[in-house]
Amino acid sequence: MAKTSSANLLAADLAGSAARLLDPGVDDYIALLKPRVMSLVVFTGFVGLYLAPGHLHPLLAAVAVLCIAIGAGAAGAINMWYDRDIDAVMKRTRARPLPAGRMAPGDALGFGCVLAAASVIIMGLAVNCVAATLLAGTIAFYVLVYTVWLKRRTPQNIVIGGAAGALPPMVGWAAVTGDIGAASLILFALIFFWTPPHFWALSLYRTDDYARAGVPMMPVVAGARETKKQMLLYTFVLWPIALAPALIGLTGLVYAVVALVLSALFTLTAIRVWYDGGEASARRMFALSIVYLFLLFAVMLVDRAPGLVGGLGAMLEAGG
């Protein structure tokens, strides 16, 4: 589909050069890190770290979470550098520091590369090499596989590229154990299969934006009907994966009940999107998808916390 348009890149860079007298502020550098995306990445990474068997010094655990955050931000900054041409034509992204001309492209690239290197090196020195390698793989996958290779070429971009967003719990897990456990693969799978319905819900009400930028998102290429069908199918795939942490004993009964309720709600919302032709249901699905993932990971955390709901779950299990 649309490859990097040199004309668009040139226009974006000229706009940046013209505004170079306006030096970027600290808030522009923070915006490069995609803080909202980072917050979910950090949270899932922390849950992976918390659920992993073993012990990690609290300070090193904090360093691991910090490295995950910096690594995610670095990948976001490099992504913004590469995508500055299409960001300039999309309503959702045109106010970002690069397309708005508040920052020179080279500054963003340099910032991203320095942060990426720093996060991996600190993770390797302070925590362990497995976690550092996984973090490096996550950043490389997001930048090279998703951003450079897939995003402008195939409607499966966010399906395969979703692996980058799914890796942080495995990084957190590896920070404690020093290896890749089967349970951490379940956390990976949960985010991996959650990503398509999440992003396709967004692209359903941003179809014009993506079409204008030449990004072959599913609704642009295959139409809204096919996208809604695939979103619904993915919500069914999520049922066993959402329940898997409870089935393998990683979490307790409370999590299982919440996972069932949330999965049912997610599927029902996808059914409403299927029958509804308007934007509102897609917006609701997008919002619910964030709540769905956040709550699943939050309940995993709470279910394992001593003295909290975990105690209630144990009581219920003993009673059953």
Partner 1 sequence: MLTVSAMDDRQRRVRGRNRALLAVLVGLVALFYAITIVRMGH
Residues at the interface with partner 1 (CB under 8 A):
21-26, 29, 57, 59-60, 63, 66, 122, 125-126
For the record, the structure tokens of 162 come out as 């979703």
C-beta of 80: minimal distance to partner 1 in Å?
Answer: 18
In angstroms, the CA 3 to CA 257 distance is 46
C-beta of 200: minimal distance to partner 1 in Å?
Answer: 37
Residue 40 identity: L
Closer CB to partner 1, residue 22 or residue 264? 22
Q: Which long-range contacts (CB under 8 A, 24 or more apart) does 14-23 make?
A: 15/88, 15/99, 15/100, 15/101, 16/84, 16/98, 16/101, 16/103, 16/104, 16/105, 17/104, 18/101, 19/100, 19/101, 19/102, 20/104, 22/101, 22/102
C-beta of 304: minimal distance to partner 1 in Å?
Answer: 24
Closer CB to partner 1, residue 122 or residue 270? 122
What sign does the CA torsion over 26, 29, 34, 40 have? negative
Closer CB to partner 1, residue 21 or residue 318? 21
C-beta of 285: minimal distance to partner 1 in Å?
Answer: 38
Closer CB to partner 1, residue 25 or residue 223? 25
Distance of CA 11 to the CA centre of its chain: 29
Closer CB to partner 1, residue 49 or residue 288? 49
Closer CB to partner 1, residue 20 or residue 92? 20
C-beta of 40: minimal distance to partner 1 in Å?
Answer: 24
Please tell me the number of Cα atoms within 13 Å of 121 on its side-chain side: 6
* Element at 289 (helix H, strand E): helix 279-304
C-beta of 22: minimal distance to partner 1 in Å?
Answer: 7
